[in-house]
Each structure stands twice: as structure tokens, then as C-alpha cells.
Amino acid sequence: MRFYIDGLPAEEKKQTHTDRHERRQKALLKANAAVSKLEWRFANRKRIRKHYITDANKNLQQAFHWSLDDRKSFVAYMAKKDYDIVLCPTEADVLIAVECRPQDAIVSCDSDLLFYRTVSIVWRPVGSYKARRFVPYEKSAVLDALSLSSTQLTALAILSGNDYFGNIPYLAIHTNLEVIKTLHGDERSIIRQYLSHRQVKRRTDKEGGKWSVESYSGAIKVFVDLKQSVASEPASPPLAAKDNITTAEDDTAITGNLFPSDN
């Protein structure tokens, strides 16, 4: 069993990192306000109702992130305890997809992993924390249910909106699914055919015709080429926090991805 931990921010995901950083800043401001309100009510012996606590807790959770330095320390600690664990160069997903073999199973909250051609099964945690269970998503079953090939499924993920590029307005996953079922070839070929499809062309013409295969280059690099680059600029610095709130470059506190290895 091997554990994979997210590393540095990816260049291909820069806009997503920026958006998430902005959401963390807003959550941090709300958390500070909620905690201040709790402090005032406590100091003034006012009744503290449940919603005061849940509001603070919710925003603290949204603002909390695991710093890169802390992730490095965690990996070093776990390695000393003889766990097979690796701090990935960038996103854990890409290294997992590179190293994944047919007999491997992946445990992750990230459903995107099933779109990599090397991944055959993903076990996802579902349910509340107290009633957590794991459900297997087998690629073969998904492909049968959708009447798609593995290549078409990857193309569907690239074209229907992801962390690297958004979908064409009004062309979401259901519409794209019906179009992609009729297209064949490798992923790049399917994307070219998709952009030339009359239903898609009609929509892109209305939107200004600003889509090309190059528009999806970041997503193609990740999902097809299994490559990622370290972001050229560091992540935006966090807001100063009133309490012990740690921010990091990515949106997940822990990327809990693992699959069996020979070790």
C-alpha cells in the first residue's frame, strides 16, 4: 500500500488555485467574524445557540489547509514509521496514474482519477463522517453503462469541465456524452471532431468561436500525457488569521490516495 500526498501547485491548475485561494480568504474573514461573535457572547454571558458554533466551524473548515512544510514533515514522519509514502512533485493524481497498474485499486475522494486510462477502479468514501463507507467505481462498469470506450471517457472528462478548463457554455456532460458517443479515434482526434460537430459549432459560433484543441492543452497534458508542470509563480499568500489557521497551495487538506504496491 502506498500513500500519495499532493506537492507543489500545478501550472495547468493555476486558475483553480487562484479561485480556491479567494474562497479561502472569504471563508477566513467569515470565520474570524463568527469567532469574534462567539467570544463577545461568551464574555457577556449571552446564550450561545448551536448555529453560532456551526457557523464558525463551517468557515474554519473551509479556511483550513495543510501547508507544504507540514506535508513534508508528515511524509518524513510516516516514512520513519516504515509507511510507503511519497510527496508528489505536483498533484498526487498524475503520479498515481503514472504508477498505477491494472491490478491496483485507488482510494480517493477525487472522481477524476477514473478518467485516466491507466486506472481501472476507484474506491470513494461516501456518507457522513460517522457513517462512512467505501464504494467501488469500476471503469468497465462505467463504460458499459455509458456505452463509451476508455478513450471516449477521457475525452468526455476533458470537454465537460474540470480543474484545468471549463466546458463550453450550455454544453455540459449530458449533451457532450451524446455527441462523444458518435466520435472515434484518440483523445485529440475526438476533441477536434467534437469542435467541428454541428451542434457544438453552433454554440461556439454564438459564443464567439474562441475554442480550439489548444484551449484544452492543459487538460490534455494531464489526462492524456500524464504530465504536469510546477506553477511558475507561488500561490497567493494567505490572509493573516486570528486563530491557528494554516493555508496551503491546494484545496485538499489531505489527498488520501493509495493503492497496493509490490513493497
Arithmetic mean of pLDDT over the chain: 86
Q: Is residue 158 part of a domain?
A: yes
pLDDT at site 129: 75
Q: Is residue 231 part of a domain?
A: yes
Mean pLDDT computed over 90-98: 95
Q: Which residue carries 454564438 as its cell?
A: 206
168: pLDDT strictly greater than 50? yes
Distance separating alpha carbons of residues 5 and 3, to the nearest angstrom = 7
52 CB-contact burial (10 Å; exposed 0-12 / middle 13-18 / buried 19+): middle
Q: Which residue carries 503520479 as its cell?
A: 95
Number of domains in the chain: 1
DSSP label of 185: S
Q: What percent of the chain has pLDDT over 90?
A: 68
Distance separating alpha carbons of residues 106 and 137, to the nearest angstrom = 10
Q: Is residue 99 part of a domain?
A: yes
Grid coordinates representing 118 are 491507466
Identify the domain containing residue 157 by its residue range.
2-13+66-259
165: pLDDT strictly greater than 60? yes
Tell if the pTM clears 0.85, that is, is over it.
no
Distance separating alpha carbons of residues 138 and 17, to the nearest angstrom = 29
Q: Which neighbouring-strand residues pair with 70?
A: none
Residue among 97, 94, 73 nearest 85 (CA): 73
Distance separating alpha carbons of residues 51 and 23, to the nearest angstrom = 21
Q: Is residue 100 part of a domain?
A: yes
Q: Is residue 237 part of a domain?
A: yes
Tens digits of per-residue pLDDT, 232-243?
A: 765 544 444 444
Grid coordinates representing 59 are 468557515
pLDDT at site 233: 61
